[in-house]
Amino acid sequence: MAKVIFIMTDSQRYDMVNANVSTGLRTPCLDSLAARGMRFTRAYTTQPVCQPARCALFTGMYPHSCNSWTNSSALSSDVHTIGQRLRDHGIRTAYIGKWHLDGGDYFGLGRCPDGWDPAYWYDMRNYLDELTPEERTASRHDTTMQTQDIPSSFTYAHRCTDRAVQFLQEHGQESDFLLCVSYDEPHDPYLCPQEYWKPYEDFVFPSAPNVADTLDGKPDYQKVWAGQKLDQERTNVQIRAPYYFGCNSFVDSQIGRVLDAADTFAGEDTIVFYTSDHGDFLESHCLTGKGPAAYDEITRIPLFIKGPGIASGSVSSAPVSHINLAPTVLDLFGLQCPPVFPGNSLLPQLYGNAERVNQYCFIEFGRYEVDHDGFGGFQPMRSVFDGRYKLSINLLSQDEFYDLQQDPYEMNNLINDPSCYTEICRLHDAILDNMNQTRDPFRGYYWHRRPWRKDAPAATWSYTGYTRQSENDYEERQLDYATGLPMETSSRRK
């Protein structure tokens, strides 16, 4: 039996939560949550874009495995969410907030997908449908905050929280449930009451050394991305974003409302997950926003988990990934990890029975959004982090290798350093193996044959020569093309 609340934000960097790094930003509710459970200092998204990040959280699969390698591309019909999996075992499930997995535009389709209780479903399209045309437009421009003091009740975050509190009032005493609360904040265009953003009007966010990174020795595509910023003087860059930081503190207050309701209506034994989908560069490496890169500013995310048996104030520095969270949720309900899940449950770490459950964390990139130009288009990247070293294979550009122990701000690209060749190849092999094991549809000889790889095999049209069929536990066993009979093994030589 388990009572689980899964809370997430959007575009909240690891160092935008005071419990992780004291920068001057105020996040008292999240700080309190961190003190009540385990705080992970090396947690990573699977892809630093909204929808791909969410697919790993709520399907347990990598973006490339479920048709979510870009925004505005619906999940494959044979992919099942944790909502469906738990519902099918008689567990109450509710999802409130930003979904982003239905193939619609930014706001979603406004329809509750299978596996979640329609009585509580509330995506951004539902929110906009409650507003007048004038209110809709006002909600999409941060200039609205310059002309009026936005009441909390007008915001998406507040209305999501109201529904979460209602769910806990009505079902908090039940023995089993999963409640997901997914905030859009602090993502732009920013909307919050003045009391949250006004204190940041003169605030300057501390600049990391990599704000001065001019991308020397870095991939060409990053220089295209940076554009005219490469010609600017970087030593005097000041990071000012009062609306962004204000919404960061505002969403913290809304999370606090959910946590208070959990304590009141569900009790201390409630298990709470908190994370964010990705970060924001905020001028590091001459870049802004997020996109096709594996730098910590956009891939390292906050992650706190509290619950019975998890030591208060505990800290884990082992590398973990969003790909671990769906297996962890199922594990809490006593359900076996399905064969399509590539990740491991974090319960051994949470309960102090293992220091780490991952040898590697994998990060990827495909495209920012199928609807949008202006974000670099198709930028295929596969990256891996082992707790110290990070390797990024940028298929259409140059590759990157960083030693985060010696170079925590990822300034010095060591991809062509002979002394690092052994470690680079080890991580490269891990990427190639993961692509094969997870049926990455973009796998092929070109990922192996990189300019620096001395022992890469000759290019062949058949590549590994394997067929890799799906091990989908929700359907009958797939049929072997050569015989028409049920496959005996999913991965086999063709």
Distance CA 305, CA 323 (A): 15
**Strand bridging mode 389-394 / 400-403:** antiparallel
Distance CA 115, CA 122 (A): 14
Nearest to 151 by CA among 201, 192, 190, 199: 192
User: Can 100 be counted among the known catalytic residues?
Assistant: yes
Residues 6+ apart with CB under 8 A from 90: 176
Distance CA 488, CA 465 (A): 17
Q: Residue 242 is encoded by which pair of tokens?
A: 């009062």
DSSP assignment letter at 456: P
**Percent helix, strand and coil across the chain, each to the nearest 5:** 30, 15, 50
Q: Which amino acid is at 485?
A: L
Q: Which of 29, 55, 80, 100 is catalytic?
A: 100
Give pLDDT, residue 239: 97
Q: Which of 29, 50, 286, 361 is catalytic?
A: 50
Architecture of domain 3-363: 3-Layer(aba) Sandwich (3.40)
**DSSP character string of 222-262:** HHHHHGGGGGS--TT--B--HHHHHHHHHHHHHHHHHHHHI
DSSP assignment letter at 459: P
**299 near 42, Cβ under 8 Å?**
no
| Helices 156-171, 242-261: inter-axial angle, 10-degree rounding | 10
Distance CA 288, CA 304 (A): 26
> Which residues, in sequence order, are bridge partners of residue 393?
382
**491 near 466, Cβ under 8 Å?**
yes
Give pLDDT, residue 374: 87
Domain boundaries, the chain: 3-363, 386-493
DSSP assignment letter at 285: G
Give pLDDT, residue 465: 94
- Parts of the chain with a pLDDT under 70: none
Residues 6+ apart with CB under 8 A from 467: 481, 491, 492, 493, 494
Give pLDDT, residue 468: 94
Asked, as a colleague might, if the bond just before 186 is cis with ω within 30 of 0, I would say: yes
Nearest to 340 by CA among 66, 146, 92, 18: 66
User: Can 50 be counted among the known catalytic residues?
Assistant: yes
